[in-house]
Amino acid sequence: MPTPVPAVDRAVAILNYLADEPSHARTLTEISAALAIHPATCSATLACLQSHNLVRRAERRRGFLLGTALTRLGSAAGRTHSGFLAAREAVFALAQRFGCGGLVCAREGEDMVVLDMFGDVEPEHLPTRIGRRVPLAPPLGTVFYAWASPEEIAEWLARLDTGERARRDVSIEALAAVRARGYSLGGEHDLDVGLDSVLAKLTRADASPRMIEVAMEVADLVRARTPPAAPGDQTVANFVIAPVFEPTGAPVLACTLFGRPGQFVGDQISAIAKALVEATNAIGGQLREQVMAG
């Protein structure tokens, strides 16, 4: 456990507090009270942050806002993830084309972090924001784990809470469905791609790495023979999520288009999924070319 540095902790707390509502200037009194920092200490910390352009005074000096230096830091952080700039451009263009929101996520170890969002960046039905980090535990992370090794999948399944272990078989089916389709629609839609009933029986029988491997092989066969389309005309979904593969074959980014509840319906889901998968495949191709050229 690293040794705490109170001054750094206070500065980070202030930045996170201002980031919660970035357009709302906060006064010294508000910041001090909300974070339980002594006013004198809070004032000194804000002065230091301001000297580095990490915070700035709002107009008429009625509070503090995030500083412009954070823009450079955020952009640089995003660039540490392969394909981020291309994914950002593609998702932004598709979000405009389909009149919806979009976001780009990356896997960092056993967590998923939101690198950027477009459109509605504070959707009421989607509790997320830029920079949010969440643990990759079922049902989260299907796009990142659908192409993982059986051993990695078994570790992912082990993160289910004790009371949810009975859902292990459903999680395996969801992974197989995402792998068969090539993208995710989230939730119960990831079980609706017409996989043979033997898959369900197989995964319920044993979740050992070998059984998981067979389940993924079935998914690959389904995709190779008859790539499944999106569910029928009456289907309603809120998300379409597609992976960007790095040259090793592992998903490195997840690109999401999201709509308001009930916005994506029937044939529109197919059109959005087709466009998004084409875009993410193209980005993966660029990453492979870069490795071959370099």
For the ranges 59-73, 222-236, 254-268, 277-291, the one whose mean pLDDT is highest:
277-291
pTM: 0.78
CATH number of this structure's domain 75-293, picked from the four choices 3.90.1860.10, 3.30.450.40, 3.40.109.10, 3.20.20.30: 3.30.450.40
**Most confident by average pLDDT, 57-61, 211-215, 267-271, 277-281:** 277-281
- So where are the chain's domains? 6-67, 75-293
The model's pLDDT over 98-115, given as tens digits with 9 standing for 90+, comes to 999 999 999 998 899 999
**Closest by alpha carbon to 178, among 215, 136, 204?**
215
Alpha carbon 11 to chain centroid, angstroms: 26
Mean pLDDT value across the chain: 83
Please give the share of the chain, as a percent, with pLDDT higher than 90. 40
pLDDT tens column, 158-179: 888 766 666 777 788 888 888 8
| Average pLDDT over every residue of 228-254 | 81
Looking at domain 6-67, its CATH architecture is: Orthogonal Bundle (1.10)
